[in-house]
Amino acid sequence: MKLPIILGALLLSASPAVANNLLYLRCRKSDHIVITNTVTSKIIEERTKDDTSILKINLIKKTLTDARAGYPLSFTVQNKLITATLRVDNDELKSDDIFKLNLMPPYLITAKGTAIVETMNRSLTSRGEGSCEEVDASVFQKVMKESES
C-alpha cells in the first residue's frame, strides 16, 4: 500500500523541465578570456564576457544542445557531473574546450578552453563559471526559432 503512494509522490514531484528525460536550463556564465600573440607571447587582449545560454539536455541520449548552435554535443556523466568536450584540429584552428555541469541544483557550471589560430599568430585561453536554473521547454524552442531567423 505504501509503495504506490511513494511512487505517486515521486511522479508528482518531478520537475516539468525534466519531463521525458529532458532537462531544460538557462545558464549564466562569466568567462575570463586572454588573447596572446603566439610569436611574441604578449597579451593582446584580456577581458571578461558574460554569457547566457539555453540548454536542452537529453539524459537518455547523453546529448547537450545550446539553442543558439542547434546541434547536439555528446557528454559523459560521472557522479552526477556532465562533462562535454569539444575539440577542433585543422589547418586553421586547434581548440580544446571542456564544459562541466553539476546535475544537482543549483546546477553549477565550469568551462575552460584553449584555441590557437596559426594563420593569425593568436592563442586564446578562457576560463568560466556560473550557474543554471530550470526553464520550460518553450523557452528553448523560442530561442531556437530566433537563432534560425
pLDDT, one tens digit per residue, over 15-44 is 444 557 999 999 999 999 999 999 999 999
What is the structure's pLDDT at 70? 83
pLDDT tens digits, one per residue of 48-80: 999 999 999 999 999 999 999 888 999 999 999
CA distances for 83 relative to 22, 56, 88, 143, angstroms: 17, 15, 17, 23
User: DSSP state, 18?
Assistant: G
Cβ–Cβ < 8 Å for 124, 34: yes
| For range 76-96, the mean pLDDT | 94
112 versus 12: which is more confidently predicted?
112
C-alpha cell read off for 56: 536542452
Q: State the pTM of this model.
A: 0.80
Least confident range of 56-65, 111-120, 140-149: 140-149
